[in-house]
Amino acid sequence: MLLRTFGWSLGITAVGLAFAAWVWGWEGFAVVAILSVLEISLSFDNAVVNASILKKMNAFWQKIFLTVGVLIAVFGMRLVFPVVIVAITAKLGPIEAVDLAINNKDHYQELVTAAHPAIAAFGGMFLLMIFLDFIFEEREHAWLAWLERPLAKLGKLDMLSVTIALIALIITATTFATDVAHDGGDKASTVLLSGIAGLVTYLIVGGLSGHFENKLEEEEEAEAEAEKAGRPSAVGLAGKAAFFLFLYLEVLDASFSFDGVIGAFAITNDIFWMALGLGIGAMYVRSLTVYLVRKGTLDDYVYLEHGAHYAIGALAVILLVTIKYEINEVVTGLVGVFLIAASFWSSVVRNRREEAEDEGGSGSDEKTEISV
């Protein structure tokens, strides 16, 4: 099971590190290895959230996630995305931006850093919406019941998540986005536009995936009752539902990748080292996602999903705060690890308690039978 799930990741690691050592020497080897560890440590919560979505897909779409999805993650987010951001913010052509990334790495890093407020606002709002929609939804299991149950009741109010997210964006734009531009001005308008773009992206992609997922469920219920002539095929709807869930996963991964890409500049400004190191880390995140799905870990440890979503909420806040203040990537990673570890331990305690109750219940039943 482990070898089948993580085989590709281990193979890519061996090839990637060997390539780095051959082309760039031991320095390149060390930097690529460090970046791989950085990406894995920052993205464990990403894997848990991905697993909660991926388990709704069939085996075919899980393979698509591991193949096409990896290509998008590695080449799209880790290599192309920083270049595109520089091209847009610096008003350069794509070829000029690539030339800058290769031949003038220090200036390239400065331009990426200057684009951080826009990146953080977009990713922060997208992740904040994921957290708010989770926390305002009524669920069978509540990890922090004293907080989650009252919020689930409040969640019955229409558009509450969007309202809170917009308030958070306005506060961010009028506080953290002031006096962050290199020219002495502020980036309030940039943060507002980018944040709204992140919100709209979430509403479109999340709305479409949810719509087709609901239609699929309705279709399956209808099939269980009777066959109806002229009804669309459930397979077709499954394809649409899975496609938009896949698209949702990729946007989610992109939002999670922002801190990793920006944090990587603290280690190197060579885009090829970054792409290779972060790409290797992304492979493990995807393999871990599939492993969690196939092992049914989320079903066995019911609070893991809660911990991951709290980590998403924390990352959203951190991204918005980093528009003005620098926060070490180690802190970002440790927050996510702590929340997931706490939710995992709570799940273990719950499982042990339920097992003890079941054993106690069966023991009393046996005593009753003997006495009779």
Residue range 82-106: mean pLDDT, rounded: 79
Would you call 146 exposed, middle or buried from its count of C-beta atoms within 10 A (0-12, 13-18, 19+)? exposed
182: amino acid identity, one letter: H
Query: How far, in Å, CA of 175 to CA of 177, rounded?
Result: 6
Q: Is the pLDDT of residue 193 over 80?
A: yes
Residue range 227-249: mean pLDDT, rounded: 62
Stated pTM of the model? 0.73
Q: What pLDDT score was predicted for residue 222? A: 61
Q: Give SS3 for 92.
A: coil
Report residue 207's pLDDT band, with 50, 70 and 90 as the boundaries. Answer: confident
Q: What pLDDT score was predicted for residue 111? A: 81
* Residue 25 structure tokens: 């020497």
* Least confident span in 170-174, 249-253, 345-349, 365-369: 365-369
Cα atoms in the Cβ-side hemisphere of radius 13 Å centred on 182: 9
Query: How far, in Å, CA of 333 to CA of 259, rounded?
Result: 9
Measuring CA to CA, how many Å separate 282 from each of 44, 167, 256?
A: 10, 33, 11
Residue range 13-31: mean pLDDT, rounded: 89
Q: Per residue in 142-189, pLDDT tens?
A: 898 888 889 888 888 888 999 999 999 999 998 887 765 544 456 888
Going by C-alpha positions, the residue among 123, 86, 111, 250 that lies closest to residue 199 is 123
Query: How far, in Å, CA of 15 to CA of 30, rounded?
Result: 14
- Count the residues in the chain: 372
Q: What pLDDT score was predicted for residue 369? A: 39
Q: What pLDDT score was predicted for residue 165? A: 94
Q: What pLDDT score was predicted for residue 177? A: 78
Q: Per residue in 307-320, pLDDT tens?
A: 888 988 888 898 88
Q: What pLDDT score was predicted for residue 169? A: 94
Helix axes 59-71, 271-295, angle to 10 degrees: 170
How big is the chain by its Cα radius of gyration, in Å?
23
Q: What pLDDT score was predicted for residue 180? A: 53
